[in-house]
Structure 1
Amino acid sequence: MKPSRNTLAVALLAALAAPAAHAEVAIDVIHDSEVSFEGLIQADYNWFDSDVANLNGDVPDGLDSDQELRRAEIVLKGKGPGNVDWVVGYDAKADKWLDVNAKYKLGGDSNHYLQLGQFKQPNSLEELSSTKNNDFIAKASITNTLAVARRLGGAYSYGTNDWSLTASYFGRELTRNLAHGSGYGLRGTWAPINQGGNVLHLGVSYVDMDTDADTVRLRARPLADLAGVRLVDTGSTGILNADRMSVIGLEGMYATGPFKLQGEYMKAQVYRYATGVATQPADAYDADGFYVQGVWNLTGEKFGYKAGVPTTPLPDNPGSGMWQLALRYDRLDLNDGYLAPGATPTAAPVVRGVLGGEQSSITAGVNWYWRSNFKFMLNYVKVDSSRYISSARADVDDDPSIVEARVQFYW
């Protein structure tokens, strides 16, 4: 169901009525719980210089651009009673629940936490970082394709600001007809350097989950959230006879003063059972990818670090704001198979395994954080992709360029 115009209007008016402060808006103390209100409004514009596929293909208007309200998030938070913190979040644009959970601190000075409800699972440094402070308009391909985001479940965590261990068990997403498949996740982080504005972060994560429908489909947009097609895709029928899927992630981040270097590698493995179909063997299917990115605060603000993720500072001078330059290299490989000769010399070759394609990209961006509530982003993306197309009997290269812009208001 699409959100009504009235729903989006109410969300926007609530945002504009909020005072100009970065922190959440305090509402009241209700039953010993300090209740506050947060929000995020994002509007995106994408211009496509398509190569082979029409990146605006889902809109039959002949245009080479698209614009859309990307997010309209409303979040209520509470501190208390006692050692309990809770949150209820909803995205009116996507018509889905966000974080809806309660977190309990075991003991007054304890570093042990229990969390129940819907929350981001313990994997992916980029996925766990705050959406309002994304370094680029579109998240990396591995984050959108292989990372597990919000699910209903329970988690236990223990650690300090220098290290952490988290274990979770999860089921489906709270909103109906979205992500499903039960599983578990583990993540450990360590910051051997964490003082004086210098941070070195290392992390490893592992997620294992049931495919639920015995099929898995992996695909990725060309680093543009409004693109109507995916240039790499394991196919509309998915990876058949799939039993379970696991994803291992390695992450690293080094921040020194106004500069941050960050990267992640993920490898997914789909465990399969035999069906007797030659083109869908019982062999496991593997996919992997990585990204490396750097961000420089031109105005000198220093990056921070909290709970195993980097934090973005507010502008030192709110009137002129904080300027950032960002550069990212991104790669995703969905190929795990080969072409076998056809039955006759003129027959089409037969795909053994899965040939979902390969995609790499370079993204250059400039961000402007103005005052405490506004952010403006401009990205240029150059994509290089290749995928076997059965109708062409060959690998088809598709190398588009994209210009992306975002306006954001948050409190």
Structure 2
Amino acid sequence: MKSTVKFCGLVMLTSIGIASCYAASFTYKGGPRIKSDDGNFEIGLNGRTHLDVHSLYPDYPVFGSQLLSSNDRDGFNWRRTYATLTGKIHDLNFKFENDFAVNAISPFPHSLREAWVSAKLGPGQLTLGQFKPYRGLEEITSSNEITLMERPSTSSTGIYSGRQFLTGIGYRSMIRDNLGFGINVMSLSHFGLPFEGITYGGRAVWLPIHQEGNILHLGFSVSRDTSNKNSLSARIVDVYGGREGISQSLGLAGAGFGAPHSNSQSTFSAEAAYSIGSLTLQGEYALSKLDNTHQAGGNLKNSSIQAFYVQASWFLTGENAVYRKDRGAFGKPLPSGKWGALEFAGRYDLAENINQNLTADPCRTGTSKCQVQVITLGVNWYPYQGIRFMLNYYLTEAMIGHADLGAQTQKDKLSVLSVRTQISF
């Protein structure tokens, strides 16, 4: 915590010192900002805080490592408390973002989320540092603007488990007004970890229709993550029942006995979204192959995991979703009425290891199936710009099949009620 404050203070003092050499103006629109009159220097401070409250209702009898009682994970959770510095010095842009909510368990620099510098190169932007790899639609969307409280299984909540912010180099550009791409080569690590393991891949987006209040978005992404013992794991863990819910492993690359030192995960993902008026529909499908997850017949075997979701949201108060070309993702509009904006949303989400059976056991459950389904219903109220209240209700089912032929199918049904208070500037 102390080192984080010292670091941010050093950045601020350095920036103020530079600003003092120029005629500058100070504004407070979306956060305090200093900008030189010649436009060569700019720095701004932003922040966000997400306070969540959860109430979990387990189904009995349970299996595995599920809830011990109806209230063992109930209560409050500071999900995010971000402080963000952004700005530029001549043609060099930068961003430093720290999450103080996790600082106690992941001290600085592990608590850094984004920390990068970028510069214009040709028609696009070259970025160096820690940031999100260019992956799917919901993964690249800001946590301030995701429609439901949790991301689906096609994101770092599932397919890219634990690999949301990585260190490396990336380049993204709009080839045409409606066509863009991003490519990256990164270490499978955060700041504060050894720079080992590697991921490379990219994402492309196309807007066949791009008009105000009428947007059709199509895209796909590919990636290959190769981990070793000192890097983040190439694994898939789906969390059902919200942030305080249950983790179900769907496979770990290299978990098979006798597997080599380095093992890979290869993923292809397709995405589509259509926003017309106050209605937005979107969905993604991801297929991921994990190397050497288990043994069958004395031989190492790979396994495949599929994940997909379909989602719909509608603004009762008539606002339109905002499309952000710089990310290739949707954002939220400003409230248009004096009572704010009211949004209803729903999502169906499924993830499963399609190779799990009584002979092959990549999920390590010793059963015939390995599947998680989640239905999420949500209401969002935006009373003012920068403030949002979210109410989510999860209906979940984890199915691991049976342990032998003729045995009863094992399921875990969990329902959860979650509320978030979100403030950002």
TM-score normalised by structure 2 residue count:
0.80
- Aligned pairs (5 A) from 1:226-305: 226-227=244-245, 229-234=246-251, 238=255, 241=259, 243-272=263-292, 278=296, 281-305=299-323
C-alpha separation in 2, matches of 1:388 and 1:100: 44
What is the aligned partner in structure 2 of residue 119 from structure 1?
131
Residue 139 (structure 1) aligned with residue 151 (structure 2): yes
- Aligned pairs (5 A) from 1:7-406: 23-27=30-34, 29=36, 32-52=40-60, 53=62, 63=72, 65-82=74-91, 84-95=92-103, 96-106=111-121, 111-143=123-155, 144-147=157-160, 148-159=163-174, 160-177=176-193, 181-213=197-229, 216-227=234-245, 229-234=246-251, 238=255, 241=259, 243-272=263-292, 278=296, 281-307=299-325, 308-317=328-337, 319-340=338-359, 351-354=360-363, 357-388=370-401, 395-406=409-420
C-alpha separation in 1, matches of 2:236 and 2:329: 26
C-alpha separation in 1, matches of 2:389 and 2:124: 38
- The residue identity in structure 2 corresponding to 1:23 is G
C-alpha separation in 1, matches of 2:57 and 2:195: 32
C-alpha separation in 2, matches of 1:296 and 1:55: 38
- The residue identity in structure 2 corresponding to 1:188 is A
C-alpha separation in 1, matches of 2:195 and 2:152: 19
C-alpha spacing 1:380/1:182, structure 2 compared with 1 (3 Å): same
Displacement of 1:119 after TM fit? 1.1
Partner SS state of residue 135, structure 1: coil
C-alpha separation in 2, matches of 1:61 and 1:252: 38
Percent of residue pairs bearing the same amino acid type: 23
- The residue identity in structure 2 corresponding to 1:98 is R
What is the aligned partner in structure 2 of residue 348 from structure 1?
none
| Contact 1:315–1:372, Cα closer than 8 Å, also in 2 | yes
C-alpha separation in 1, matches of 2:201 and 2:228: 17
C-alpha separation in 1, matches of 2:126 and 2:422: 33
C-alpha separation in 2, matches of 1:261 and 1:175: 36
| Contact 2:134–2:221, Cα closer than 8 Å, also in 1 | yes
| Contact 1:104–1:115, Cα closer than 8 Å, also in 2 | yes
- The residue identity in structure 1 corresponding to 2:247 is R
Higher relative contact order (CA closer than 8 Å, sequence separation 6+) = 1
What is the aligned partner in structure 2 of residue 344 from structure 1?
none
Task: Show structure 2 runs of 5+ residues with no match.
Answer: 9-26, 104-110
C-alpha separation in 1, matches of 2:297 and 2:40: 61
How many residues end up aligned between the 2 structures? 380
- The residue identity in structure 1 corresponding to 2:313 is V
C-alpha separation in 1, matches of 2:268 and 2:242: 25
Displacement of 1:248 after TM fit? 0.7
C-alpha separation in 1, matches of 2:264 and 2:72: 41
| Contact 1:293–1:327, Cα closer than 8 Å, also in 2 | yes
| Contact 2:306–2:354, Cα closer than 8 Å, also in 1 | no
C-alpha separation in 2, matches of 1:391 and 1:93: 44
C-alpha separation in 2, matches of 1:65 and 1:362: 20
C-alpha separation in 1, matches of 2:267 and 2:86: 31
Task: Show structure 1 runs of 5+ residues with no match.
Answer: 11-19, 341-350
C-alpha spacing 1:239/1:175, structure 2 compared with 1 (3 Å): farther
**RMSD of Structure 2 on Structure 1 (CA):** 3.4
C-alpha separation in 1, matches of 2:376 and 2:70: 27
